[in-house]
Amino acid sequence: MKFWEDSAKELPDIRSGRISSYGIKYAIVLGTRPEIIKMAPIIKELKQRGIQHIVIHSGQHYSPTMDSNIFKDLNLRQPDYNLRIGSDSREKQIEKIRKSLIRVLRHEEPDIVLVQGDTNTVLAGAYAALDLGIEVGHVEAGLRSYDRRMPEEKNRVLTDSISDYLFAPTCQSKENLLREGFKEKNIYVTGNTIVDAIFQNLSTVSGNSHIADKLRRRLNTPEYILLTLHRPSNVDSGAQLSRILREIAKIPVKYDLEIIFPIHPRTRKMISKYQLWKMIARTQGILATKAIDFLDCLELESKARLVMTDSGGLQEESCILGVPCITLRENTERPETLKVGSNILIGKEYDRLLDYVGESLKKGNGWKNPYGDGEAAQKIVRIVQYSWRRRGHRKENSELVGKALFTPRMSGEKSLLLAEPQRASHSLKTGT
């Protein structure tokens, strides 16, 4: 198997002391917890290099645990703008974010917009940049589950199609893009910024997470399994969610391992809707708790015997941390974890979950991390900076795009409305 470094493009020799910003202004667009976590290394890299940038939060995730607390935990300043979009249908949410972003981008006039992953915010950010003639860089490009029923799959495919820079985390992601006809010159294998985030934060949180320590002390077994569920395909159906919980309830009995279950806000809502709290309360060996911060989750992951999840991010994180994983889905856009042996994809075989748990508990953790060396953020910034220097792009871009693209394009469109700064960020009021 080839890993990310085996076919990574040779990067220009531009070290920190030799690079200047060339007047480039970056806009980092994000909206959910995973995006904040994975963009954090890039934001820190831009800050360290003294490169002008702004951070725009769509408000797609808005509870403190899923949003503002993460900026504090990761030692990031609060975003410059918070659009406060909130929940809505996929189509309405994307359109609200796109329209609001256009107003901010016209006001700020960035040269490049960076988005990460596969959320509604990512696609809206890419579309807004496209509308204004601003270059787009897609961090974590080329992931594919090949399941077009998934909104995430639609978002990542469409975002790739309108991006100027495709930052693929692995060779597999690059190959996916090449098969779809993307030009190789636009694809850069950089590794995954989640490795950067883990390396930057694990030593800090290890042994210092009061939440993780408190949860572990409530267990009756010295070892535990970490469980997370949040995908609509798993939690939005009462029958499916009940089935998963029934099978999971058998695990503590057979393996003398308790399960820590931080419950995502979406999952908590569905458990209440389908009246499943009694089922969870009656189950011996499941410690259900509210959603926890990234650093607490990272600490729990690193000490777990096994991770069971439907999260793409946790598939990556557990692989990097050397913890076996069982993915509670029919498909995955992280096939690298299957190839190295860190992950088992359950498919529809929930009746075999106990067997898969036994198989996972017996395996070691000698697999090779396929996601890079923890320097993905440096590579991404170097690539963009070098590309602009080589093209003399700042001058060309200003002549080509000019101020005209940043003036209202629709008659009657309102000018940018900014509320008073709150914790050094703007709250942008939007209409429906």
Q: Walk across the sheet containing 306-309 and list its strands.
A: 286-290, 258-263, 224-228, 306-309, 325-327, 343-345
| Average pLDDT along the chain | 86
Task: Over range 94-110, report the average pLDDT.
Answer: 96
Rounded to 10 deg, the angle between the 90-108 and 120-131 helix axes is: 40
Q: Distance from CA of residue 197 to its chain's centroid?
A: 11
Cα separation, 266 vs 92, in Å, equals 19
User: Residue 120 is encoded by which pair of tokens?
Assistant: 């509604």
Q: What is the per-residue burial (b if ≥16 Cβ within 10 Å, else e) of 31-63?
A: bbbbbbbbbbbbbbbbeebebebbbbbbbbbbe
Of 128-137, 293-302, 360-369, 419-428, minimum mean pLDDT range: 419-428
Report H helices in 206-328. Answer: 210-217, 232-235, 238-248, 251-255, 265-273, 277-282, 294-303, 312-321
Distances (CA, A) of 79 to 43, 85, 143, 305, 427: 11, 14, 27, 36, 10
For domain 203-362, the CATH architecture is 3-Layer(aba) Sandwich (3.40)
Q: How many Cα atoms within 13 Å fall on the side-chain side of residue 259?
A: 27
Query: Does residue 304 surpass a pLDDT of 80?
Result: yes
User: Residue 96 is encoded by which pair of tokens?
Assistant: 């609200």
| CA dihedral sign, ordered 258, 232, 145, 39 | negative
- High-pLDDT (> 70) share of the chain, %: 83
Cα separation, 97 vs 93, in Å, equals 6
Q: Which pLDDT belongs to residue 8?
A: 39
Query: Does residue 103 surpass a pLDDT of 60?
Result: yes
Query: Does residue 277 surpass a pLDDT of 70?
Result: yes
Please state which CATH number belongs to domain 4-192+372-427.
3.40.50.2000
The region, left, alpha or beta by phi > 0 then psi within -120 to 50, assigned to residue 164 is alpha
Single-letter code of the amino acid located at 77: R
Query: Does residue 415 surpass a pLDDT of 70?
Result: no
Q: Which of 8, 367, 399, 349 is nearest to 167 (CA)?
A: 8
Assess whether 264 carries a catalytic annotation.
no
Rounded (5°) CA angle 6-9-10: 105
Do 432 and 96 touch, CB atoms closer than 8 A?
Answer: yes
User: Residue 138 is encoded by which pair of tokens?
Assistant: 């897609």
Distances (CA, A) of 421 to 277, 426, 427: 41, 5, 7
Cα separation, 98 vs 224, in Å, equals 43
Per the listing, tokens 């999971």 go with 248
Query: Does residue 134 surpass a pLDDT of 60?
Result: yes
In this prediction the pTM is 0.85
- Residue 81 β-bridge partners: 56, 426
Segments of the chain assigned to CATH 3.40.50.2000: 4-192+372-427, 203-362
230, 264, 393, 426: the active-site residue: 230
Cα separation, 408 vs 416, in Å, equals 10
Helix (H, G, I), strand (E, B) or coil at 431: coil
Q: What is the pLDDT of residues 376-398, one digit of tens each?
A: 999 999 999 999 988 875 444 43
Rounded (5°) CA angle 386-407-78: 60
Q: What is the DSSP letter of 425?
A: B
Cα separation, 93 vs 252, in Å, equals 40
Q: Which pLDDT belongs to residue 404?
A: 31
- State which H helix or E strand residue 104 sits in: helix 90-108
Query: Does residue 294 surpass a pLDDT of 60?
Result: yes
